[in-house]
Amino acid sequence: MLKLTVLLITLLVIAKTGWTREKFSIQVNEGNTFGALVKAEPFTKINDGYYFFGTESLNWYEAYEKCRELNSELVTFETDQEFDAVTAFLTANGSRLTYWTSGNDLAKTGSHRWFTNAQRISSLRWARNQPDNAGQKEHCIHLGYIYKDSRKFELNDRPCSQDPNSLFKYICEAPEMETISIVVWK
């Protein structure tokens, strides 16, 4: 009983006086605030993003699973600048292949969205007359040289699966980074 009373008083005193300073403070910031060296393999850094270029030809679902195995998702182009940077990288590397993105209108036909963030696709990088949902079967979005006379990478909708002519390479995008700083009193 006495022990308990002493403990209670001690606790009360501590609570009243309190500690005037926290031992440490934590701060979380978007991005790689201090430009720390980051080991990103197998991802390639392009501007602020990290991308993996899958070399197997797969349907959209298989491609998504491959990205999830790498703790990433199929690429989302939040801006056309990001699209231009990634396709410039491919062009510089001599690629004219076709690659899946996260874009689709599986939830509601005609409402094309990036699957990773549910944002409507407002890109100006569609190939001409696309998306056209040809044969009412095209619900997943890829990039490539869409027509014989295409001169650059553009977006197009194709069947997500069940189509031997819609097996594409894929681009995975790593999650964004945060910097956590811990400040302590010496």
Ligand X SMILES: *[C@@H]1O[C@H](CO)[C@@H](O)[C@H](O)[C@H]1NC(C)=O
CA dist 128 → 8, 157, 158, 176, 181 (Å): 76, 12, 14, 32, 47
Contact 127, 155 (CB under 8 A): yes
Residue placing its CB nearer to ligand X in the complex, 86 or 160: 86
Looking only at residues 27 through 46 of this chain, which bind ligand X when binding is defined by CB under 6 A? none
Residue type, 44: T
Q: Does 52 bind ligand X (CB under 6 A)?
A: no
CB-side neighbour CA atoms (13 Å) of 139: 13
Residue placing its CB nearer to ligand X in the complex, 90 or 143: 90
Handedness of CA 41, 44, 50, 53 (dihedral sign): negative
Cα 155 from Cα 108, distance rounded (Å): 19
Residue placing its CB nearer to ligand X in the complex, 17 or 55: 55
Report the partner that residue 93 touches, choosing among Ca ion, ligand X, none (CB closer than 5 to 8 A by kind).
ligand X
Among 43, 49, 50, 53, indicate the residue that binds ligand X (CB under 6 A): 53
Among 95, 133, 150, 179, indicate the residue that binds ligand X (CB under 6 A): 95
Among 17, 20, 93, 165, indicate the residue that binds ligand X (CB under 6 A): 93
Residues that bind ligand X (CB under 6 A): 53, 90, 93-95
